[in-house]
Each structure stands twice: as C-alpha cells, then as structure tokens.
Amino acid sequence: MFDSCDSTKDVQQSLWRSTPLNLPEVSEPDVVRHYTNLSQMNFGVDTGFYPLGSCTMKYNPKINEEIVPQFNGIHPLQPAQTVQGVQAVYDFMDKALAEITGMKRFTFLPCAGAHGELTGLMLMKEYHLRRGDTARTKVIVPDSAHGTNPASAAVCGFDIVVVKSRPDGLVDVEDLKPLLGPDIAGIMMTNPNTLGLFERDIKEIASLVHGCGGLLYYDGANMNPLLGVVRPGDMGFDIMHLNLHKTFSTPHGGGGPGSGPVGVAERLVPIVDVPKTSGFHGNFGVILRACAYILTIGRENLKMAGPLATLAANYIKESLKDSYKLPIPTVCKHEFVFDGLADGGDVTTLDVAKRLLDYGFHAPTIYFPLLFHQALMIEPTETESKETLDAFIDVMHLIAREASENPELLHTAPHNTPIGRPDETAAARQPILKYSFD
Amino acid sequence: MSTFAYFPHTEEDIKVMLERVGLSSLGELYSDVPPEFIHKGDYDLPSAMTEEEVRRWFENLAAKDTRLVVFAGAGAYDHYTPSVIPYITSRSEFITAYTPYQCEISQGTLRYIFEWQTMICSLTGLDVANASMYDGPTAAAEAMRMCVACTRKRNTVVASARLLPAVLSVLETYSRYSGINLVVTDDVQEAVAEGTLDLAGVIVPSINRFGIVESHLGLADLVHQMGGLLVEYCDPSALAVVKTPAEWGADIAVGDGQSLGIPLCYGGPYVGFMACREQWMRKLPGRIVGQTADAAGRRAFVLTLQAREQHIRREKATSNICSNESLMALWCTVYLSIMGPEGMRKLNAICYERSHYLKEQLLATGKFEDPFEGRTFLKEFALKPLCNAEKLQQALLDAGFFGALPTPEGYVTFCVTERRTPEEIDALVKVIKEAAL
Amino acid sequence: MSRIIEGLLYSESHEWVKVEDGLAIIGVSDFAQSEMGDITYVDLPAEGDEVTAGEEFGALESVKASSELYSPVSGTVEAVNEELESAPEKVNEDAYAAWLIKVRMSDASELDALLDAAAYEQVAK
C-alpha cells in the first residue's frame, strides 16, 4: 500500500522503503521457547552469588517489579494536572535521596551512573561559567577512579589531571596540592574508593579543593557501604550521583536500564535543572522501583544496610587472605582487592574467575583497579547470607588448592558452562556483528 | 532470621562474622571514618512498610493520575505491547543479570543483543549497530559527537529545526558543554551549501516533529562533498515502511526504540539505538556484541571491540557510556520477533489509515486549517487550529483524551496508533465538534 | 627476551625508526608487541596527516587493552601500512617487518634524540 500512496513511482524520489525487511518470521510459541532457552544460558542475582566489585549486585525485590505497570499508560508530555501521582513519586524521591545523602536537590534525568557523572560535570561547568569563571578547564581524577570518571570529564570538554594514590591506596594529598589552582574546576572522588578504602583525608581534600575555588564531585557507584551511615553532603561534596540500580536495589537488566539521579548542594540548587541530558523525565520505571525499596527498607533498616554489606566484605577478606594476596590489609568497606593467588604459579586471575563459574558463582571484577596486575575485586552485599558467603569462601580455597595441584584444570576452565572460553581475539580482529542472511 | 526480609543475618551470624574480622561491633567497621561524618540519630524517612502497605501506597498515587486516551506522539508512541514481551523480559535470568562480562554464563544476554544489532541493521539498512544508548535524544547527541570524532578537527554540526523538541534540547545541552558548534536551522540544505568550513555532520529527521515524512534527496551527496557525515533520526517502527537511512545515503542512524512496543511509562525507560556504515564502526560508542567460537568450535557471543570503551580507554574512549538499556533492547527484539516483517507493515498501514481518517474528520469540523497540505505522513500530523490551542487541549483533557499538543508555530499535533479504535477517533472528533472553542 | 635489531633507532615509548631516502619508517618494537599480546587492531592516521615528535599518532588495541603510539619524529605522513587494517597480527608475527607509517620529516635533527639498539636494550626490560 505504501508504494501506491506515492504520487511518483520513481524509487529515488519515493519516500517509501524499497529494501526488503529482514525480520524473524516465527510463531508466538517458538518466540517464547527461543527466549526461554536463551534465559537458561544466563546467570543473574536470582541464580547465584554475584561478588562483582563496584557493581553492588544486591537482591532485586519482587514487589518493586509489580509497581511499574500501574504507571505504564502515562504519556511523558501529559500536563501536570493529570500526573499528580507521578509527581508525588518524584517529590518523595527528591526528599528521600536528599535526606539519605545530605544533598539539597536532585535531578532525575540521568539514565545511568556515567550519565549522572556527565550531568554532574555539566553542573560543575555551569556553576563556574555563571560566575564568569571561564578559566576552570581541568578536572582532577584519582588514578584509582572508575574509567567512567575520566571519560565523562572528557565528554564534558574538560582536560583530565590524574592524582596519584599512595602505597596505602588512598589519594596522595601531597601529590594533590601542587595540582590545585585557578584552572581547576573540581575533583571527582569515589569514597570509599575502588580499593574499598575510605578516603579518610576527605576533610582536608575538601578544604584544599574548595580553597582553590573548585568543586567536589562524588561518584556514587560505591555508596552502598555508607548507606545509612555517612552522607556525602556532610563530607563536603557539592555534586553527586547515585546508581539506583546498585544502591537502591533496582535490577541491572543485563546492562540496564539504570537510573543515575544527581544531587547538588545548596549553592547549585538554582541550576540543577539546567542540563537537559535526556529526552523526558529520566527512567521513571526505575525510579518507581527504587521508591518502593526505600518504603520497604524504611528508616529502621536503612541504618543496617551499609554495615552489613561492609561486614560481609571484611568477612570474605579475612577468610581468604591466606590463599590470596592481599596488598592492603586494613579494614575495607563494601569491597576489597586481592592481587591474585598467594601461591598461584602460572595460574592467573582470569583462570580463577573462570573456575568460579564452574562452581556456580559469578566471578569478581577482574583486572580492575589497574593499580594491581592480578586484581580480583570482590563485593558481596548485605543481602547475602553467611551460608552463601561461607560456600563462596570454601570454593575460593578449593580453587587455590586446585591451582597448585592441577593448574591445567584452571587454565582451561570453565568446564560446566554452556560454552567454554571463546576466542575473543578472533572476535575483535574480524568482527561479526550481525547475522548474515546470504 | 533477622527481622527484615532482605537481610538474612541472625544476631549469631553477625557475632561470628565480627569475630572472624577481629572486631566487636559493626560500628568499628567505620573506625577509619572521621567521627563527625557518622550520621547521628534517625534519618527523616518513613518507617518500614509491609509489602501490602507499599502496594497500597502506590495504588493511592496511581489513582491520582488521570487515565487518558492518548492521541499524542512527539517522541513517545502508544503502540500495543504483546503480552509475550513482559513475560519474557521479566524472567529473572534476564532482568537480574549484570552486563555480560563473563560470556560463558551470559550467552542469553549476548545472543539477544546480537539479534538486536541484526534487527537494527535490518530496519536502518546500515552495516553495524551498537548494543543500545539511553534514549533517542542521547543517541542523537552521541551521533553528534561521533561526527566530530570521525571527521577529526571539524567541529560544526548542523541540526534540522524540525527534529523533535526533546532531541533538540539534548543536542543543545551536549554541544554547550562539550564545545561542539551546533547550528539549528530550518533549511539544512542551504546551511550546508553555504559551506561552513569545518562541517562535521548534519542531523535530520526521517519523520519530522509535524509528522511529515521528509525527503532527503541529494542531501547525503551534498554533506559528503562538504566533508561531513549525515545522521538521520528515525522512528524504528516507521522504518518498516519509510525509506531507510541507508537508502537516503546516511552514514549514521539513531532513534528511540520506544515505538517498538515499549510502554509510555512517563518517558522511560526507553532505549536509544545507533547504527552506522562499517567504515565508522570503531568510532561507535557503547557496547557491541560479536560472534566467535570457543575452543570446541561451539558458536559463542562476546562483548567485542572493547578498546573503544571507557573501562579500557578512559578519557580517550569514544563515549563515557557504561550501563545502557539492555533489557529494553530485549523488549524491542521480542517485539520485532512477534511482529515479523508482515506484522510491521500491517501495523503501519493501520496507523496510516486511521490517522488520515482522523485528519479528514478534524478538517471537516471547520475548526482547523491544513498547513502541510499534500505532504506525506504516517501516524502523526499537525493542523492549525482556528481557535485557542490551549482551550482545545483542555476540552480534550476534560473528555479523557490527550491530544492536540501545541507547537511554537501555533499548530497542534495529533498521533493515531493502531491502539486507537475508530470509536475512540469518532468520540474525539465529537468532542471537538461540540466544544465551544 | 624480546628482539632488538641493530641499526634502527628507538624511542623510550617503544617505537622504532628506520630512515630511508629521507623518509622515517616507523613501527613498534618487539618488546611493545609482546607486552600487548594479541593485537586486534592498529589505529593509524591518514596519509597527509601531520605528526609531531612525542605526540600521539595512533594506538594498538588488544582485547582488553589499548596502547597509544607516539611519533618519534615530526612531519607529514606519506604512507600508511594498509595491510594492517585487515591483518593486525602481522605486528605480533614480526614487529620489525610490520611498519606502521612513513613520515616525511620536517626536522631530521629530531633523530638525534632517539636511542640506538644498545641504549634501547636498557629501556626494554
């Protein structure tokens, strides 16, 4: 029909598609079977323990999922008078997150953590620009930072200056001092940092950075251990994001959707809504889930979330430190880093990670942070029972024994998964990125 | 057990765990935190609710929203969601998984992303697609940045003023802070032909904010002559029938997957898509899944070309994107599998027929003029009301309809999807006919 | 133990240079390729681009890493080894045969700042 509504039959001038549309032509039962089978090749939080460092894989409550469909039919451009319920959710979340973090106001436009970082950096730039302070072109990022920090700063048009970590894993204040000046827009900090260590010099860092006219950005990816205990706003941070899909229990969905609301301190409140970083109102469906979580956990249980997550991390760390190299032995927060096996021979961190899959556990984050060559970054959460942690600890010990007794078993792991280790080099050299219909 | 359902620890567990750690209280876990930063007293939050109380809390709020029959588009379309989709996407193996870093236990996620990439390539006609952006407007902003990256040292991007307002405002935001020179104009051809020396790219809509299917005949050649890339912003549902970005000669296609059966949900989560010609593959932002094999020769899917990404390239990455909208990509992939090519054609035919019917009926009321007579549209169209546009929208709201979205030019837009029945269309027309406007 | 070839000049960032007919032929050392592991892509400039001594002109990519390439000399890129586009493994196979770019030098004295094989041996450890 679409060709016939054309006044011209000339393909070049036609407004209609002439290329055939290749899409599956399958029955509904076959579609259901296909995706059900695919799902069975996947591992999720509901399948097993997911000690993935910096990812905060906590339990995703089921009641949260049931809330969303009640709001499915609402068009994003509906006038305020017709969306009073929706507005009440945003208002509640704004107040609740401000209370939990010590910030003043939140914008909910960012759809993920890195998107929050970018929005927050835009606010940083806007703040300086509105004061006529146009020389602040640089952002300081610690060498232990998540890769998104320098990447977000670059997208926002900032130059990146790296501040080093000391041997104890904390930001080197002496290295920071000479970097500060009238060209510094601010610093991005993750506290606790990616080694799971609380940046105890934060007060001095805040006063130094503020002293040079810069702002402090808080990367909320590691907020979980502070949940209910410490508020970034009280530590002197001016801008921060939260990952609702980490700290506030919404599911990761195999890589999204997330939500990365950005909170600001008093002096940035007038500009908080200035950067329009997504099309409508952010990921409302995710915000709803996080709202349900806050109502469920309430003020009583909130205070226990951070401490229980922190206890779990320290429990694993202390239980495994004889089998795995622990470069920084102090009390950690929600996560910590091993630098490979204590006595691993040629067994690498990758081998350990792959062997864990055989035993029904997800692997930790590996080869990050870059400060250690064989990094294994482990983060349990407050929703894992002691029994689960013990089972994980037992398997990690077992793998350490296997490494010395039968290293080949680890080099070739995993053995019990739908596929074995794929040839990633071939995938990158000769990319095949879609099905061929030839 | 503890008293809170999500915390599995007993008092005894906590005691044993603390002993292992060599501490005597949970508070000591924070001994490295300066005491003035430890929050004292209760947080000002509601007391913990039971599941049923939570449910009621939201039911009460949802009751405060007005249920409206949607005759509006502007970037969010009320298409039907086949029941298979929420059924599949709520499987916990999909929804509770992380990004598929451990490919051996993530073949489900990796495979559906590969299918998504394939389907986005089919719809757009282009060679390569990434594994999702946040939404359409941010995908457009990433395309703007990609034009600058692909053309190096060039920094001007020309965008059509007929792109959706949501797209333009995100483009303006990203350009303001990243230092890209964005030129928004009614006449793209003219702006490009004038020959801005450092043209990196041009962004035009496939279907513009008045619902008109635009012709881009000759534009790609012109843009390429001037050394830039052509980006087309598309409605993927409409791409089943309208000329594809590849057919117009575009280098990059972006848009929002929402029209592929994702509920309106007050604006999100949706999913942005991006596809390009193979030559620009390594400049794509975000995740990409590739096919390879394991040692036993079994087909395997992996995240690939990761050296573009922030976790490896840091400030030199093609983008800062990490988490994306993977599950919503699954949503669209299941949708397109259910619909098939014929289903997509039929869907567009129904939208076409019903929207044209509504437009005729509205013109017949004598209360509108047609500012775009003879122009082709698919499901959305703009009319010039001969009455107060705000009153018109309010009259519709009062009768339970959401439509007649005002534009800055003094027009109003309507959108008719396959969900709008002939009875609903007639009822809407009746309201307008009878209203004293 | 990586191979170092006599008669080439080297940079501290592990590029090698061979001068032929006034053209600087540039590649990466055997040490650099072995540190990278399997190279999956070589990102190179286009013919006619300007490069500056000590500044980035491209990158080597592996599955899990990326390493910037720094030009040992300044000048104009006269040729790019297009074979590497589809066969990046050539750099792994023989880093001294798989040249990356040829540069028409604007200041040949920049060569004086580079290392000879013996001096580079101290760097590539």
Q: Are A147 and B179 a contacting pair at CB < 8 A?
A: no
Is residue A35 included in any domain, yes or no?
no
pLDDT at C1: 64
Kindly list the residues of chain A whose beta carbon comes within 8 Å of any beta carbon in chain C: 367, 424-425, 427-429
CA distance B271 to A77: 18
When divided into structural domains, chain B yields a total of 3
Sign (positive/negative) of CA torsion B336, B342, B345, B350?
negative
Q: Which domain holds residue A303?
A: 299-415
Is residue A4 included in any domain, yes or no?
no
The half-sphere exposure of A333 on its side-chain side, counting CA atoms within 13 A, is: 28
CA distance B196 to C103: 31
A146 shares its domain with A258: yes
Q: Are C38 and A367 a contacting pair at CB < 8 A?
A: no
CA distance C91 to B108: 35
Q: Which of B334, B355, B385 is the last residue of a domain?
A: B334
Q: What does the angle CA A168 – CA A171 – CA A177 come to, to the nearest 5 degrees?
A: 130
User: What kind and span of H or E run contains C27?
Assistant: strand C23-28
A88 shares its domain with A170: yes
CATH assignment at residue A343: 3.90.1150.10
A241 shares its domain with A311: no
User: What kind and span of H or E run contains B32?
Assistant: none
CA distance B241 to C4: 60
Residues of C with CB below 8 A from B305's CB? 41
Helices marked H in A189-258: 202-211
CATH assignment at residue B429: 3.90.1150.10
A72 shares its domain with A153: yes
Q: pLDDT tens digits, chain A, 438 residues: what are they?
A: 676 555 556 777 899 999 999 999 999 999 999 999 999 999 999 999 999 999 999 999 999 999 999 999 999 999 999 999 999 999 999 999 999 999 999 999 999 999 999 999 999 999 999 999 999 999 999 999 999 999 999 999 999 999 999 999 999 999 999 999 999 999 999 999 999 999 999 999 999 999 999 999 999 999 999 999 999 999 999 999 999 999 999 999 999 999 999 999 999 999 999 999 999 999 999 999 999 999 999 999 999 999 999 999 999 999 999 999 999 999 999 999 999 999 988 999 999 999 999 999 999 999 988 889 999 999 999 999 999 999 999 999 999 999 999 999 999 999 999 999 999 999 999 999 999 976
Q: Which of B305, B334, B363 is the last residue of a domain?
A: B334
B interface test, pick of A434, A436, A438 with most B CB neighbours within 10 Å: A434
CATH assignment at residue A133: 3.40.640.10
Query: What part of B 212-241 touches A (C-beta under 8 Å)?
Result: 213, 215, 217, 239-241
**Token pair recorded at residue C32:** 């650099």
Is residue A404 included in any domain, yes or no?
yes
Q: Which of A276, A296, A316 is the last residue of a domain?
A: A296
B350 shares its domain with B326: no
B116 shares its domain with B241: yes
C40 touching B (Cβ < 8 Å) = yes
User: What kind and span of H or E run contains A355?
Assistant: helix A349-358
Helices marked H in B197-325: 219-225, 245-248, 310-313
**Token pair recorded at residue B132:** 């999702």
Is residue B55 included in any domain, yes or no?
no
B307 shares its domain with B185: yes
A150 shares its domain with A225: yes
pLDDT at A11: 75
Is residue B232 included in any domain, yes or no?
yes
B316 touching C (Cβ < 8 Å) = yes
Helices marked H in B4-106: 11-21, 51-62, 84-89, 92-95
CA distance A128 to A215: 9
B128 shares its domain with B275: yes
CA distance B226 to B196: 8
Residues of B with CB below 8 A from C61's CB? 307
A203 shares its domain with A166: yes
Helix, strand or coil, per DSSP, at residue A95: helix
B6 shares its domain with B123: no
pLDDT at A344: 84
Residues of B with CB below 8 A from A113's CB? 322-323
Exposure letters B177-195 (e unless 16+ CB within 10 A, then b):
bbebebbbbeebbebbeee
| List of chains touching A (3+ CB pairs within 8 A) | B, C
B217 touching C (Cβ < 8 Å) = no
A246 shares its domain with A178: yes
CATH assignment at residue B230: 3.40.640.10
B184 shares its domain with B110: yes
A331 touching B (Cβ < 8 Å) = yes
Is residue A2 included in any domain, yes or no?
no
Mean pLDDT of all residues belonging to chain B: 96
Selected from 3.20.20.70, 3.30.830.10, 2.40.50.100, 2.60.120.10, the CATH number assigned to the domain covering C9-106 reads 2.40.50.100
CA distance A140 to chain B (A): 12
Q: Which of A296, A314, A330 is the last residue of a domain?
A: A296
In terms of CA atoms, which chain A residue is nearest residue C41? A429
pLDDT in tens, B27-74: 999 999 999 999 998 999 999 999 999 999 999 999 999 999 999 999
CA distance A254 to B96: 7
Is residue B32 included in any domain, yes or no?
yes
Q: Are B267 and A280 a contacting pair at CB < 8 A?
A: yes
pLDDT at C124: 85
pLDDT at A3: 64
In this prediction, the residues of chain C whose per-residue pLDDT falls under 70 are 1
Is residue A201 included in any domain, yes or no?
yes
Q: Are C41 and B282 a contacting pair at CB < 8 A?
A: yes
CA distance B149 to chain C (A): 13
**Token pair recorded at residue B158:** 């020309």
CA distance C110 to B24: 65
DSSP secondary structure letter of residue B244: P
Is residue B394 included in any domain, yes or no?
yes
Q: Are A425 and C64 a contacting pair at CB < 8 A?
A: no
B268 shares its domain with B355: no
Residues of B with CB below 8 A from C41's CB? 282, 305, 307
Dihedral pair phi/psi, residue A68, rounded to 5°: -60, -45
**Token pair recorded at residue B368:** 């509108």
Is residue A38 included in any domain, yes or no?
no
CA distance A402 to chain B (A): 20
Q: Are A424 and C63 a contacting pair at CB < 8 A?
A: yes
Residue B301's identity, in one-letter code, is F
pLDDT in tens, C66-101: 999 999 999 999 999 999 999 999 999 999 999 999
Q: Are B170 and A277 a contacting pair at CB < 8 A?
A: yes
Q: Are A314 and B29 a contacting pair at CB < 8 A?
A: yes
Give the closest residue to B13 by CA, choosing from A311, A317, A306, A395: A311
pLDDT at A189: 97
Say if residue C1 is exposed, middle or buried (CB neighbours under 10 Å; 0-12, 13-18, 19+).
exposed
Mean pLDDT in residue range B87-115 = 97
C interface test, pick of B151, B284, B312 with most C CB neighbours within 10 Å: B312
Q: Are A428 and C40 a contacting pair at CB < 8 A?
A: yes
pLDDT in tens, B392-437: 999 999 999 999 999 999 999 999 999 999 999 999 999 999 998 8
When divided into structural domains, chain A yields a total of 2
Give the closest residue to B121 by CA, choosing from A221, A432, A101: A432
CA distance A424 to chain B (A): 7
Exposure letters B199-222 (e unless 16+ CB within 10 A, then b):
bbbbbbbbbbbbbbbbebeebbeb
Q: Which of C43, C64, C68 sits opposite B312 (nearest CB)?
A: C64
The half-sphere exposure of A185 on its side-chain side, counting CA atoms within 13 A, is: 31
Unique residue bearing structure tokens 């080597």: C60
CA distance A431 to chain C (A): 10
Cβ(B380)–Cβ(B415) below 8 Å: yes
B52 touching A (Cβ < 8 Å) = no
Say if residue A373 is exposed, middle or buried (CB neighbours under 10 Å; 0-12, 13-18, 19+).
exposed
Unique residue bearing structure tokens 């296909």: A34
Exposure letters A220-243 (e unless 16+ CB within 10 A, then b):
bbbbbbbbbbbbbbebbbbbbbbb
Is residue A168 included in any domain, yes or no?
yes
Residues of A with CB below 8 A from C62's CB? 425, 428
A286 shares its domain with A325: no
CA distance A419 to A421: 7
- ipTM > 0.95 (yes/no): yes
The half-sphere exposure of A251 on its side-chain side, counting CA atoms within 13 A, is: 27
Exposure letters B240-272 (e unless 16+ CB within 10 A, then b):
bbbbbbbbbbbbbbbbbbbbbbbbbbbbbbbbb
Q: Are A425 and C88 a contacting pair at CB < 8 A?
A: no
B93 touching A (Cβ < 8 Å) = yes
CA distance A3 to chain B (A): 9
B323 shares its domain with B346: no
A35 touching B (Cβ < 8 Å) = yes
Give the closest residue to C107 by CA, choosing from C2, C1, C20, C22: C22
B234 Cβ partners below 8 Å, 6+ apart?
B123, B124, B205, B206, B207, B245, B253, B254, B255
CA distance A65 to A80: 25
Instruction: Give residue limits of the domains in chain C.
Output: 9-106
B418 shares its domain with B318: no
**Token pair recorded at residue A375:** 């990094």
A337 shares its domain with A188: no
Residues of C with CB below 8 A from A428's CB? 40-41, 61-63
Residue B9 confidence (pLDDT) above 80: yes
Q: Are A429 and C88 a contacting pair at CB < 8 A?
A: yes
Helices marked H in A212-326: 284-320
Q: Are A121 and B177 a contacting pair at CB < 8 A?
A: yes
Cβ(A259)–Cβ(A111) below 8 Å: yes
pLDDT at A4: 57
Is residue B48 included in any domain, yes or no?
no
B377 shares its domain with B305: no
In chain B, % helix, strand, coil (3-state, to 5) comes to: 45, 15, 40
| List of chains touching B (3+ CB pairs within 8 A) | A, C
Q: Which of A258, A285, A319 sits opposite B323 (nearest CB)?
A: A258
B293 shares its domain with B382: no
Is residue B58 included in any domain, yes or no?
no
DSSP secondary structure letter of residue B322: -
Kindly list the residues of chain C whose beta carbon comes within 8 Å of any beta carbon in chain A: 38, 40-41, 61-64, 88-89
Give the closest residue to A254 by CA, choosing from B252, B135, B116: B116
CA distance B263 to chain A (A): 5
In chain C, % helix, strand, coil (3-state, to 5) comes to: 25, 35, 45
Residues of B with CB below 8 A from A66's CB? 55
Q: Which domain holds residue B353?
A: 69-80+342-434
B315 touching A (Cβ < 8 Å) = yes
B227 shares its domain with B169: yes
In terms of CA atoms, which chain B residue is nearest residue C43? B282
Is residue A140 included in any domain, yes or no?
yes
Is residue B4 included in any domain, yes or no?
yes
CA distance A102 to C16: 55
